Amino acid sequence: MVNQDKIERIKNFFEVALGYSKEEAEEEAKRCLQCKEPACMKGCPVGIDIPAFIKLIAEGRQKEALEKIKEKNNLPGICGRVCPQEDQCEAVCILNKKKIPINPVRNAKALKEINKISNGVNIGALERYAADLEISSTLHAPRSTPRTCGVKPATCSAKIAVVGSGPAGLTCAADLAKMGYQVTLFESLHLAGGVLVYGIPEFRLPKKIVEQEVEYIKSLGVDIHTDTLIGNTYALEDLFREGFKAIFIATGAGLPQFLGIPGENLNRVYSANEFLVRVNLMKSYKFPGYATPVSIGKKAAVIGAGNVAFDCARVALRLGAQVTLVYRRTENEMPARRDEIQNAKEEGITFKLLTQPVKIIDDGKGFVKGLECMAMELGEPDASGRRRPIPLKDSNFVLEVDTVIVAIGQNPNPLLPKVTPGLKTNADGTIAVDKNFMTSIPAVFAGGDIISGAATVISAMGTGKKAAVAIDKYVRDGSQDKAKVSPLKGTL
Amino acid sequence: MFKIIDKRELAKDITEVTIEASVIAQKAQAGQFVAVVIDEKSERIPLTLADWDKDKGTVTLIFQKVGHTTKKLGALNSGGYIEHILGPLGHPTDAKRTGTVVCIGGGVGIAEVYPVSLAFKKAGNRVIGIIGSRSMELLILEDKMKGVCDELFVTTDDGSYGRRGFVTDVLKELLQVIEKSTHTKFPDLVYCIGPVPMMKAVSQLTKDYKIKTIVSLNPIMVDATGMCGSCRCSVGGKTVFGCVDGPDFDGHKVDFEELEKRLKLFADQEGKINPI
Q: Are strands B2-11 and A368-381 parallel, antiparallel or unpaired?
A: unpaired
Which pLDDT score, from 0 to 100, does residue A311 have?
A: 97
User: Which residues on chain B are in Cβ contact (under 8 Å) with A227?
Assistant: 84-86
User: Which residues on chain A are in Cβ contact (under 8 Å) with B268?
Assistant: 295
**Between chains, do A265 and B227 touch, taking CB under 8 Å as contact?**
no
Residues 347-376 of A with CB under 8 A from B: 365-366
A86: confidence class by pLDDT, cuts 50, 70, 90: confident
User: Which residues on chain A are in Cβ contact (under 8 Å) with B233?
Assistant: 265
Tell me which residue in A188, A277, A366 faces B222 most closely, judged by beta carbons. A277
Evaluate whether A200 touches A259 at the Cβ level (below 8 Å): no
Evaluate whether A193 touches A114 at the Cβ level (below 8 Å): no
Residue A295 to residues A216, A224, A320, A322, B50, Cα–Cα distance (Å): 36, 33, 11, 14, 31
DSSP code, position A333 = G
Q: Are strands B58-64 and B44-53 parallel, antiparallel or unpaired?
A: antiparallel
Q: d(Cα A467, Cα A459) in Å, to the nearest integer?
A: 12
Distance from CA of A285 to the nearest CA of B (A): 12
**Between chains, do B261 and A254 touch, taking CB under 8 Å as contact?**
no
Which pLDDT score, from 0 to 100, does residue A482 have?
A: 47
Instruction: Write out the DSSP string of A271-328.
Output: EHHHHHIIIIIS-GGGTTTSS------SEEEEE--SHHHHHHHHHHHHTT-EEEEE-S
In chain A, whose CA is at the least distance from the CA of B268?
Answer: A295
Question: A232, A258, A312: best mutation site toward chain B, by most B Cβ within 10 Å?
Answer: A232
Tell me which residue in A188, A282, A413 faces B43 most closely, judged by beta carbons. A282
B126: helix, strand or coil: strand
- Angle, helices A123-136 vs A207-219, to 10°: value is 70
Distance from CA of A409 to the nearest CA of B (A): 12
What confidence tens digit (pLDDT) does each residue in B150-192 have? 999 999 999 999 999 999 999 999 999 999 988 889 999 999 9
What confidence tens digit (pLDDT) does each residue in A16-32 have? 988 899 999 999 999 99
pLDDT at A1 over 80: no
pLDDT at A100 over 50: no
Distance from CA of A122 to the nearest CA of B (A): 35
**Between chains, do B89 and A232 touch, taking CB under 8 Å as contact?**
yes
A442: confidence class by pLDDT, cuts 50, 70, 90: very high
Q: Tell me which H or E stretch contains A350.
A: strand A350-352
Q: Who has greater pLDDT, A153 or B114?
A: B114
pLDDT at A314 over 70: yes
Specify burial of residue A307 (Cβ count, 10 A radius: 0-12, 13-18, 19+): buried
AA letter at B23: V
Would residue A316 be called left, alpha or beta, if left means φ above 0 and alpha means ψ between -120 and 50 degrees? alpha
In this complex, is the C-beta atom of B76 within 8 Å of any C-beta atom belonging to chain A? Answer: no
Peptide bond into B247 cis (omega under 30): yes
Distance from CA of B161 to the nearest CA of A (A): 37
User: Which residues on chain A are in Cβ contact (under 8 Å) with B27?
Assistant: 232-233
Evaluate whether A167 touches A457 at the Cβ level (below 8 Å): yes
Mean pLDDT of chain A: 88
Q: Are strands B14-20 and A159-163 parallel, antiparallel or unpaired?
A: unpaired
Residue A18 to residues A69, A180, A208, Cα–Cα distance (Å): 21, 37, 15
**Between chains, do A265 and B234 touch, taking CB under 8 Å as contact?**
yes
Q: Are strands B58-64 and B14-20 parallel, antiparallel or unpaired?
A: antiparallel
pLDDT at A163 over 90: yes
Strand partners, A446: A249
- Angle, helices A457-481 vs A167-179, to 10°: value is 40
B168: helix, strand or coil: helix
In chain A, whose CA is at the least distance from the CA of B83?
Answer: A190
Which pLDDT score, from 0 to 100, does residue B134 have?
A: 94
Residue B259 to residues A224, B35, B230, Cα–Cα distance (Å): 37, 20, 11
Please state the rounded mean pLDDT for residues B213-219: 96
In this complex, is the C-beta atom of A241 within 8 Å of any C-beta atom belonging to chain B? Answer: no
Which pLDDT score, from 0 to 100, does residue A94 have?
A: 87
Q: d(Cα A210, Cα B247) in Å, to the nearest integer?
A: 33
DSSP code, position A16 = S
Q: Which of A86-90, A163-167, B103-107 has the lowest mean pLDDT?
A: A86-90
User: Which residues on chain A are in Cβ contact (under 8 Å) with B81?
Assistant: none
**Between chains, do B24 and A258 touch, taking CB under 8 Å as contact?**
no
**Between chains, do B41 and A190 touch, taking CB under 8 Å as contact?**
no
Question: B227, B268, B274: best mutation site toward chain A, by most A Cβ within 10 Å?
Answer: B227
Q: What is the dihedral of CA B248, B253, B254, B257, to 10 degrees?
A: 160
**Between chains, do A265 and B41 touch, taking CB under 8 Å as contact?**
no
Tell me which residue in B69, B222, B274 faces A274 most closely, judged by beta carbons. B222
Question: A184, A187, A188, A268: best mutation site toward chain B, by most B Cβ within 10 Å?
Answer: A188
Which is nearest to A94 in space by CA: A119, A111, A116, A72?
A119
pLDDT at A141 over 50: no
What confidence tens digit (pLDDT) does each residue in B127-155 have? 999 999 999 999 999 999 999 999 999 99
In this complex, is the C-beta atom of A228 within 8 Å of any C-beta atom belonging to chain B? Answer: yes
Q: Who has greater pLDDT, A149 or A213?
A: A213
Please state the rounded mean pLDDT for residues A338-362: 95
Please state the rounded mean pLDDT for residues A193-202: 95
Q: d(Cα A148, Cα A151) in Å, to the nearest integer?
A: 9
Q: d(Cα B271, Cα A89) in Å, to the nearest integer?
A: 51
**Between chains, do B227 and A277 touch, taking CB under 8 Å as contact?**
yes
Instruction: Give me Rg for the CA atoms of chain B.
Output: 18
Q: d(Cα B229, Cα A272) in Å, to the nearest integer?
A: 9
Angle, CA of A171, A172 and A174, to the nearest 5° = 65
B116: confidence class by pLDDT, cuts 50, 70, 90: very high
pLDDT at A483 over 50: no
Half-sphere exposure of A82 (CA within 13 A, CB side): 29
Evaluate whether A197 touches A166 at the Cβ level (below 8 Å): no
Please state the rounded mean pLDDT for residues A183-206: 95
Evaluate whether A164 touches A451 at the Cβ level (below 8 Å): no
Tell me which residue in A267, A283, A288 faces B262 most closely, judged by beta carbons. A267
**Between chains, do B83 and A271 touch, taking CB under 8 Å as contact?**
no
Which pLDDT score, from 0 to 100, does residue A91 have?
A: 87
What confidence tens digit (pLDDT) does each residue in A172-188 have? 999 999 999 999 999 99
User: Which residues on chain A are in Cβ contact (under 8 Å) with B227?
Assistant: 198, 254-256, 273, 277, 413
DSSP code, position A144 = T
User: Which residues on chain A are in Cβ contact (under 8 Å) with B225?
Assistant: 188-189, 229, 254, 415
A387: confidence class by pLDDT, cuts 50, 70, 90: confident
Q: d(Cα A193, Cα A214) in Å, to the nearest integer?
A: 7
In this complex, is the C-beta atom of B84 within 8 Å of any C-beta atom belonging to chain A? Answer: yes
Q: d(Cα B142, Cα B148) in Å, to the nearest integer?
A: 10
Q: d(Cα A178, Cα A339) in Å, to the nearest integer?
A: 35
Which pLDDT score, from 0 to 100, does residue A166 have?
A: 95
Please state the rounded mean pLDDT for residues A123-140: 76
Which residues have a Cβ under 8 Å from the Cβ of B161 and sit 6 or more positions away?
A: B135, B136, B139, B154
ipTM, interface predicted TM-score of the complex: 0.93
Evaluate whether A367 touches A267 at the Cβ level (below 8 Å): yes
A6: confidence class by pLDDT, cuts 50, 70, 90: confident
Q: Are strands B248-250 and B2-11 parallel, antiparallel or unpaired?
A: unpaired
In this complex, is the C-beta atom of A293 within 8 Å of any C-beta atom belonging to chain B? Answer: yes
Which pLDDT score, from 0 to 100, does residue B184 have?
A: 87
Q: d(Cα A385, Cα A416) in Å, to the nearest integer?
A: 33
Full strand arrangement of the beta sheet holding B248-250: B163-164, B151-156, B126-133, B100-106, B189-193, B213-216, B248-250
In this complex, is the C-beta atom of A198 within 8 Å of any C-beta atom belonging to chain B? Answer: yes
Would residue B57 be called left, alpha or beta, if left means φ above 0 and alpha means ψ between -120 and 50 degrees? left
Which pLDDT score, from 0 to 100, does residue B269 have?
A: 80
Q: d(Cα B238, Cα A243) in Å, to the nearest integer?
A: 42
Q: d(Cα A337, Cα A113) in Å, to the nearest integer?
A: 13
Evaluate whether B230 touches B222 at the Cβ level (below 8 Å): yes
Which is nearest to A468 in space by CA: A205, A192, A217, A97?
A217
What confidence tens digit (pLDDT) does each residue in A65-83 have? 999 999 999 999 999 999 8
Which is nearest to A224 in space by CA: A235, A238, A210, A237?
A210
DSSP code, position A442 = T
Which pLDDT score, from 0 to 100, does residue B209 have?
A: 94
User: Which residues on chain B are in Cβ contact (under 8 Å) with A256?
Assistant: 227-229
B47: confidence class by pLDDT, cuts 50, 70, 90: very high
User: Which residues on chain B are in Cβ contact (under 8 Å) with A232?
Assistant: 27, 87-89
Please state the rounded mean pLDDT for residues B247-257: 97
In this complex, is the C-beta atom of B240 within 8 Å of any C-beta atom belonging to chain A? Answer: no
Strands (E) in A101-243, as ranges, are: 159-163, 182-186, 223-225
User: Which residues on chain A are in Cβ contact (under 8 Å) with B272?
Assistant: 287-288, 293
Tell me which residue in A278, A289, A366 faces B41 most closely, judged by beta carbons. A289
pLDDT at A228 over 60: yes
Q: Are strands A368-381 and A397-399 parallel, antiparallel or unpaired?
A: antiparallel
B267: confidence class by pLDDT, cuts 50, 70, 90: confident
Which is nearest to B199 in space by CA: B226, B166, B225, B227?
B166
**Between chains, do B44 and A289 touch, taking CB under 8 Å as contact?**
no
Please state the rounded mean pLDDT for residues A136-146: 42
Evaluate whether A187 touches A228 at the Cβ level (below 8 Å): yes
Which residues have a Cβ under 8 Å from the Cβ of A146 and sit 6 or more positions away?
A: none
Which pLDDT score, from 0 to 100, does residue A87 have?
A: 87
pLDDT at A109 over 70: no
User: Which residues on chain A are in Cβ contact (under 8 Å) with B262?
Assistant: 265, 267, 366
Which pLDDT score, from 0 to 100, does residue B119 have?
A: 97
In this complex, is the C-beta atom of A287 within 8 Å of any C-beta atom belonging to chain B? Answer: yes
pLDDT at A465 over 70: yes
Q: What is the dihedral of CA B167, B173, B174, B177, to 10 degrees?
A: 180
Peptide bond into A288 cis (omega under 30): yes
Which pLDDT score, from 0 to 100, does residue A480 have?
A: 53
Please state the rounded mean pLDDT for residues A154-171: 88
Which pLDDT score, from 0 to 100, does residue A99 have?
A: 53
**Between chains, do B268 and A415 touch, taking CB under 8 Å as contact?**
no
Q: d(Cα A325, Cα B223) in Å, to the nearest integer?
A: 26
Residues 257-276 of A with CB under 8 A from B: 258, 264-265, 267-268, 270-271, 273-274
